Amino acid sequence: MHGIYYFVPGVFKHFDTEAIHALIAPRPHLELSGDEDGGAPADGVMTLETKLAAVYKLYSREANFRSVLYKNTAHEYLPEMKEEMIAWFEKHLPVKK
């Protein structure tokens, strides 16, 4: 798994994960996580969900943020995740003609 800390050494001396993710707002942001993923502990995912939902609410763009925590799932890519991602892209990515 790759994170911003691989590319910006020392970033977490100045910012927390929530602040970095909040920079995406109000643009669409989808998070898909497994509750057994050691790289993204469920309690951290839930904290992130709560804080980012509040940021998106400040912009009145609650529909632009979605986080799904899959039960009994480690660091893996499930067919359900693929379906969720495709639906998200279809909803939020403009189609150029």
Model's pTM, two decimal places?
0.85
- Sign of the alpha-carbon torsion through 73, 7, 58, 51: positive
Give whole-number Cα distances, 56 to 29, 49, 60, 96, in Å: 10, 10, 6, 26
Instruction: Determine the 3-state secondary structure of 74 from DSSP.
Output: coil
Question: What's the pLDDT score for residue 1?
Answer: 44
**DSSP conformational letter for 9:** T
Strand partners, 69: 33
Residue-level pLDDT, tens digit, the chain, 97 residues: 456 666 788 888 888 889 989 999 999 999 999 999 988 899 999 999 999 999 999 999 999 999 999 999 999 999 999 999 999 999 999 887 7
What pLDDT, on the 0 to 100 scale, is given for residue 26?
98
